[in-house]
């Protein structure tokens, strides 16, 4: 049996898979865990913002921009962004910078890491004497709940996710400066050695 054509096709498939993964930074795999570094998550966020949310039937539009991710020690991540508000179709006026902390969850349907129970921890007004009033805080919290439910802060490339198949997720957390999801099986048995590692 001539294995050369088979090896050639396998090499071509590996190159295609690596190219698809290269379009978005590849996660790392160790045992049952898949992890993504803060730099890769920041790049994903940079491409996902600015985001504008209409409220009160379109009377108010809140725009979040310039996301800044930090993965400190512990099991929560920190995320900051600029917030601006426009009323009645006017130009957005900067309100300030908001900082929040959040847990983490992994959603197999979106193939992404999502915020879990985010909380607003700090607000720095754009103007002296400015503050985050209760109405604006309420709108911001409503946006956060919706964003956490629907939008990932990092989405795994579908090509990578397809390699993982239909594994069960056991946990998702912030660990050692990375987003980490733990599956119910050893990923090394499913993924070719070194394919996903940087």
Q: What is the mean pLDDT of residues 118-141?
A: 86
Q: What is the C-alpha separation between 40 and 59, in angstroms, rounded?
A: 36
55-90 in b/e form (b: 16+ CB < 10 A) is: beeeebbbbbeebebebeeeebbbbbbbbbbbeeee
Q: What is the mean pLDDT of residues 35-41?
A: 94
Q: Is 171's pLDDT higher than 60?
A: yes
Q: Is 189 helix (H, G, I), strand (E, B) or coil?
A: helix
Whether 71 contacts 177, CB under 8 Å: yes
Q: pLDDT category, 18, cuts 50, 70, 90?
A: very low
Confidence of residue 193 (pLDDT cuts 50, 70, 90): low
Contact 68, 80 (CB under 8 A): yes
Q: What percentage of the chain reaches a pLDDT higher than 90?
A: 40
CA–CA distance, 50 with 52 (Å, rounded to integer): 7
Helix or strand or coil: residue 151?
Answer: coil
Q: Return d(Cα 140, Cα 152) in angstroms, integer.
A: 17
Q: What is the pLDDT of residue 147?
A: 92
User: Does residue 19 have a pLDDT over 70?
Assistant: no
Q: What pLDDT, on the 0 to 100 scale, is given for residue 192?
A: 59
For residue 174, pLDDT over 50 is answered with: yes
Are the C-beta atoms of 184 and 15 separated by less than 8 Å? no
Look at residue 7 in the predicted model and tell me its pLDDT: 31
Least confident among 36-45, 50-59, 101-110:
50-59
Give the confidence band of 67 by pLDDT, cuts at 50, 70, 90.
Answer: very high
- Which range has the worst mean pLDDT, 6-15, 45-54, 115-124, 185-194? 6-15
Can you give the pLDDT at residue 196?
56
Residue 161, pLDDT score: 76
Instruction: For residues 161-188, give the mean pLDDT.
Output: 86
Please say whether the beta carbons of 174 and 104 come within 8 A.
Answer: yes
Whether the model clears a pTM of 0.85, i.e. scores above it, the answer is no
Higher pLDDT, 143 or 194: 143
Query: How confident is the model over 113-141, as a mean pLDDT?
Result: 87
pLDDT at 164 over 80: no
Q: Where are the alpha helices (DSSP H) in 100-157?
A: 134-150
């Amino acid at each position: 049996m001539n294995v050369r054509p088979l090896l050639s096709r396998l090499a071509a498939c590996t190159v295609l898979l690596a190219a698809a993964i290269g379009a978005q930074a590849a996660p790392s795999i160790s045992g049952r865990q898949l992890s993504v570094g803060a730099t890769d998550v920041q790049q994903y966020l940079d491409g996902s913002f600015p985001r504008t949310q209409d409220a009160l039937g379109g009377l108010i539009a809140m725009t979040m921009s310039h996301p800044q991710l930090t993965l400190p020690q512990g099991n929560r991540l920190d995320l900051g962004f600029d917030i601006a508000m426009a009323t009645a179709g006017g130009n957005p006026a900067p309100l300030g910078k908001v900082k929040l902390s959040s847990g983490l969850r992994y959603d197999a349907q979106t193939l992404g890491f999502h915020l879990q129970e985010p909380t607003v921890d700090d607000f720095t007004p754009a103007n002296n004497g400015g503050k985050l009033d209760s109405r604006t805080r309420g709108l911001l919290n409503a946006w956060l709940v919706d964003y956490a439910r629907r939008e990932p802060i990092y989405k795994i490339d579908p090509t990578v996710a397809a390699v993982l198949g239909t594994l069960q997720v056991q946990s998702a957390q912030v660990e050692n400066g990375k987003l980490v999801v733990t599956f119910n099986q050893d990923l090394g048995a499913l993924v070719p050695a070194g394919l996903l590692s940087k």
